[in-house]
Copies of this chain bind each other. A is one copy, B any other.
Amino acid sequence: MLVPEGFLFSAVEAGIKYQGRPDLGLIISEVPAAWAGVFTRNDFKAAPVLLALERLKNRETARAVLVNSGCANACTGPEGLSDAREILATLAQSLGVLPEEILPASTGVIGTRLPVPRIKDRLPELVSGLSRDKAALVARAMMTTDTFPKVVSRKIPGTGAVILGLAKGAGMIAPNMATMLAFLLTDAGVPAETLRRLLSEAVNQSFNRITVDGDTSTNDTVYLLANGRAGVLPREAEETFRKTLFEVCRELSYLMVKDGEGATKVVRIRVEGARDATEAERLARAVADSPLVKTAFFGEDPNWGRILVALGKLGLGLDPRGVEILVNEVPLVREGRGLSEEEARREMGRPEFTFRIRLSRGSASVEILTCDLSYEYIKINAEYRT
């Protein structure tokens, strides 16, 4: 794993909810880092999100990210806010930074308070354990129903700098980035203003283009920190930086869908030939979020009727004769009518495939990543308390 210069990592077991695994993680930058953040648009924002929004308004630099799993610290009222502030103040003192320089993130059960004394007890060990080689451990500490930690790193070509991404997310993943956390760290030197513009674009092209169950959480957070330890990014390398950032975000998004609760298939829903980007996205989401379509994916059933139903329900005035559907390269529907399904069924036997929906209304296209809906999703969500 490539790790950007000047970042240190640590994780400990604080027993917030899980036993026998880390659930409290810390990332620090040895020098102040410019930062950007994108957050959930849910009305019920968790305490760490509210604190992060304060920081976003007031500060362009940050020194650390503190993350916990097992408790979302959401819907906990003013007490939840002061719990978070108390923990951050203690950690700040121990790190010798300001509390406002620490970016918080939580994920887990909604409506329960953080066990503040237990967390504060573990902070000294968390700080003393900081090292360059524990990024994967922080990714583990972020997990809830995730079955594997999500870590991606890339060199920024033509520079000595690196982008490292850590993420979690397996359910409640939808439109505006639901129950997902992602931390992007780079040693490139990029001003906060540029970071904020690029991060917002990158999130739209990646984390906002995946869906597991159409729900959006109280805690979604993406942080991007750039500490400049590999030098200032030359203006001519900005496009390369942008591309690498997008790649890292898209790869993390892919890993989240792959780890979608109970998912056995990753499916790309590609809509082409829509009137405009909004229409393309609405159509792709209607298909990607339909439980009937998603159960058909699970059953490896090329049930194009359900795809048409999902497309048609928006009432956009689609003409059946103008609809073509392909599974990977195999035609399944032409002029709104079904073709032989045998080959399409074979394609759906693979762990990943693409449904291409071609309209003849315009030239806009979009791709949304989704997964199938399986027995396991029900099991996880009927038994797990999010």
Identify the A interface with B (CB < 8 A).
41-44, 72, 74-77, 109-111, 171-172, 174-176, 178, 213-218, 289-292, 295-296, 298-299, 301, 303-306, 308-321, 335-338, 373-375, 377-379, 381-383, 385-386
Contact = CB atoms under 8 A, between A and B. Distances in A.
Given A43-B318, A374-B378, A215 B313 contact: yes
Contacts of A312: 42-44, 216, 218
B218 A309 contact: yes
Instruction: Report how many copies the assembly holds.
Output: 2
6 contacts: A42-B312, A43-B311, A75-B336, A216-B313, A291-B373, A301-B385
Given A75-B320, A292-B215, A374-B378, A338 B111 contact: yes
Nearest to A44: B312
Nearest to A216: B313
Contacts of A315: 41-43, 176
A171 B293 CA distance: 12
A291 B44 contact: no
Contacts of A215: 290-292, 306, 309-310, 313
Contacts of A74: 305
Contacts of A295: 377-378, 381-382
Given A296-B382, A320-B44, A375-B375, A337 B290 contact: no
A256 to B, nearest CB: 16
* 3 residue pairs, one from A and one from B, having the closest CB atoms: A110-B305, A299-B382, A43-B312
A214 B316 contact: no
